[in-house]
Chain A
């Protein structure tokens, strides 16, 4: 019998923690979708019969699908500068990107509100300089929600992109140019494909994180930006209805899993893991 690599034991603490603190409770919650208040599929029937649940679920997926490309587009140039700029610039950028991590989500959401509100920084500027007559509705609607999500999620895209870009040999772009590719073509055919692992990791992290957002839609979104985590929280904390909460979680999990599988088929999770 072959001996197991002794280093495998190093996985034990993390594995145990994951099982006890994550897999156990989550499995238990998902089980309850089928067992609470009694065994059967009544919780799923309820989700199906009341359009509001599916609507909020669809809403959540849609918001995540809007947030993800925005974060990617904004994060890409930052990561690029971090990977290919001077060491000094890199230090500054890493610092600036990390600062928000040291601040609570709640504080950052309120800060976003201060910028966007009716008499806030942006509107005061726009109205003060006569760009607009009336303050723009930037808060308590989709705009406010997107602004909040994007600012919180940027680091999740910047760091994976940075690590992918830092590994790209700068000589490759020179080679492409030497071989006659104009800059745009070299970027699309050579550079972009090489950033794909980082891009996919970032996109996946952002998409999945957004699905679970709870504080930001409550603080910055409007009536129509209800997201599914708020419903799950209501079901558990207000109604003690673990069954419906479990069913909602399971549907969300399956939808997320399905989308990841789709990603796997089209781009390949192997790219992400590489």
Chain B
């Protein structure tokens, strides 16, 4: 699944990028005056951080105006494409939607003349989208529940004797089935296609002890309220809860990574300006700024030079943490999500 990338090749790529013709153009002054680019994302603190870290530098460099819109919504996105004239020029979408959208022809191809994709870790670049942030499903646990040693790997989540207490899982098959298979001893590079029967059999062990979360704030709250002692939770949520004083920590072993991508909706009226906004978004400095604001992991390895070292232990794309993880296969999930969601629901009800 994961293509091996050494830090050195990435650095080489970044150096080459710096020497690319774009560098000259970026200094070419505000040539997009009068252009308006509409950027759609997920709202809240995240989009605020994107505005400051990506959009404002872009406005300054090009003279264009960026209008914030959202929240991103797959159904709305499709409806816009169907109408022929999308309102959005750049959208921040999940990796899952990227694959679905590629199949259904919802995006413009990323233009290599306008976007220097070599700044980004190649694992997180697609022909139709550029990875902007990475997040991971981690083994989160209460720091007070296990005085005789903390859980470390997914197998520990299923060991109710050694690690007693309630569990939490996301109420979705995505990542949950991977967790079960990794816990059952499947090697990361042999995960796909998933052995679904084996995964559900493993999940049976904890089913009766599990509270299923459907919103991220809920996953956090379950630990804060001491409702569960261990479970699957996103790295950013453990960070947030820990910042607020919750007794929670996480393991980076076998973390399962997912990527959000920047895409240009097909038929965008400002395609070139949209591509250039995405290019600004790939710059290491801008990535670092975003990470410092909201602790989301960058896809540009160079960004770590300017990221607060205190944050590094919470980010999944640091050299140490990225090695321990694997990237969720979104193409697999695109083709199997409907079927497996049905099976997931049936499994829960059984």
B105 vs chain A, min Cβ distance (A): 13
> A237 → chain B, closest Cβ, in Å?
6
- Determine the residue in chain A with the shortest Cβ distance to B225: A117
B211, B218, B337 — which one has the most chain A CB atoms within 10 A of its CB? B211
Q: Is A59 an interface residue (CB 8 A)?
A: yes
Q: Contact mask B212-225 → A, CB, 8 Å, 1/0?
A: 10110010010001
- Known: A119-B226, A237-B75, A240-B75. Is A140-B345 also a contact (CB below 8 A)? no
The reply to whether B171 and A218 form a contact with Cβ atoms under 8 Å apart is yes
| Interface residue total, chain A, C-beta cutoff 8 A | 29
Cα distance A51–B350 in the bound complex, in angstroms:
11
Q: Could you tell me the distance between the alpha carbons of A222 and B349 in the complex, rounded to whole angstroms?
A: 10
Stretch at the interface among A74-82, A201-209, A223-231: A223-231
B341 in contact with A234 (CB, 8 Å): yes
Q: Is the CB of B210 within 8 A of A237?
A: no
Distance between B340 CB and nearest chain A CB, rounded to angstroms: 12
**What are the residues of chain A within 8 A of B225 when measuring CB–CB?**
113-114, 117-120
A-B contact count (CB 8 A): 65
Q: Is the CB of B341 within 8 A of A224?
A: no
Contact A218 B74 (CB under 8 A): no
Measured CA separation A140–B213 after assembly (Å) = 10
The main secondary structure of chain B at its interface with chain A is helix
Chain A residue numbers with a CB within 8 Å of B338 are 239, 241
Residues in B neighbouring A222, C-beta threshold 8 A: 211-212
Determine if B198 is an interface residue (Cβ-Cβ < 8 Å): no
Number of B residues near A (Cβ < 8 Å) is 26
Which of B166, B212, B341, B349 meets A238, CB within 8 Å?
A: B341
For residue A223, which residues in chain B have a CB less than 8 angstroms away from its CB?
Answer: 207, 210, 212, 348-349
Q: Is A88 an interface residue (CB 8 A)?
A: no
What's the Cα separation between A56 and B349 when bound, in Å? 8
B228 (CB) vs chain A CBs: closest residue: A118
Q: Is the C-beta of B78 less than 8 angstroms from some C-beta in chain A?
A: yes
Shortest C-beta distance, A148 to chain B (Å), equals: 13
Those of B309-350 within 8 Å (CB) of chain A: 337-338, 341-342, 345-346, 348-349
Contact A52 B337 (CB under 8 A): no
Instruction: State the B residues within 8 Å of A (CB).
Output: 73-75, 78, 100, 166, 171, 207, 210-212, 214-215, 218, 221, 225-227, 337-338, 341-342, 345-346, 348-349
Cross-chain pairs A/B with CB under 8 angstroms, 8 sampled: A51-B346, A110-B221, A113-B225, A140-B227, A223-B348, A237-B73, A237-B74, A240-B100
A-side residues, CB < 8 A to B, are: 50-52, 55-56, 59, 110, 113-114, 117-120, 139-140, 218-219, 222-224, 226, 231, 234, 236-241
